Amino acid sequence: MATKEEHLRKPDWLKIKLNTNENYTGLKKLMRENRLHTVCEEAKCPNIHECWAVRRTATFMILGNVCTRACRFCAVKTGLPTELDWQEPERVAESVRLMNLKHVVVTAVARDDLKDGGAAVFAETIRAIRRKNPFTTIEVLPSDMGGVYENLKTLMDARPDILNHNIETVRRLTPRVRARATYERSLEFLRRAKELQPDIPTKSSIMVGLGETKEEIIEAMDDLRANHVDILTIGQYLQPTKKHLKVVKYYHPDEFRELKEIALSKGFTHCEAGPLVRSSYHADEQVNAASAARQMKA
């Protein structure tokens, strides 16, 4: 465990292999040419080289790159956004076509400055992707959109293939880790999404290493299942800058394997757990697993 004055040394299993092949450079060029943002870059995701260079996947970040919230774990810029680009959905859809993606993840900064929290742009992005890429599955990862029911309905009426919303951490640590968002509001958001479209899988993510206990992680799993969440990802929190929360503990891969087993035993249709796992990690595999689970229940 780390004290307030010291930083934990990163263990060997968190070493990242850099790969800047033609896939990586080509994808970066495509994003810049289309004036698109990715959470891969903005949030300093450790998997960017694997996803861009090897899997050729990316998580698009719409509604600009300035967030209205200042969560203490997140590297995305905070401030007052000025950008609301209604041409962005078409540019995202065209990029999905050029990349020939079978599965796409679309996330966004929190836009508390907008009455609908960005729901209309999210919905139009889903529709634009469907028009140009009818066989591509679509996963969306929105903020809680202020907890406003109509905003969520606007998004769910566009029928994404997966609705992903992260609780991020356990109940006790939420006030210290997240800004404006609350643990209960996130659970309500996930529950209402399922009520609006019962056949659409829901998904959430937990970071570990912020000082939570194993019992609190299991409680969070139970809370998610009680609100009918289907898919769970669990990853190691990594401090993006010195201004952000420090890492309290690095979990061993064996501990992640145990957490995955516990999650699956509680009824999640799929669980991705590991030191470098992030919410969108291997998302294409998760949508396939969720689809197979639905077919078995049918």
40 annotated as ligand-binding? yes
Report whether 260 contacts 234 (CB < 8 A): yes
Largest pairwise CA distance in the chain: 55
- Is 67 annotated for ligand binding? yes
Residue 71 assigned to a binding site: yes
Alpha-carbon distance of 69 to 109, in angstroms, equals 8
Residue 292 in tokens: 């197979």
Note the helical H segments in 17-163: 22-33, 39-42, 48-49, 88-99, 119-132, 149-157
Exposure of 136 in the CB half-sphere (CA atoms within 13 A) = 28
271 in a labelled binding site? no
Q: Are 105 and 163 in contact (CB under 8 A)?
A: no
51 labeled part of a ligand binding site = yes
Give 97's Cβ-side CA count (13 Å radius): 14
The alpha carbon dihedral of 62, 188, 43, 47 has a sign of: negative
Tokens 């292999």 belong to which residue?
17
Q: Is 280 annotated as a binding residue?
A: yes
What would you report as the CA-atom Rg of the chain, rounded to the nearest whole angstrom?
18
Gap between the Cα atoms of 49 and 13, Å rounded: 16
Q: What whole-number distance in Å separates Cα of residue 244 and Cα of residue 231?
A: 28
Q: Which residues are annotated as a binding site for [4Fe-4S] cluster?
A: 40, 45, 51, 67, 71, 74, 280
Q: Which residues are annotated as a binding site?
A: 40, 45, 51, 67, 71, 74, 280
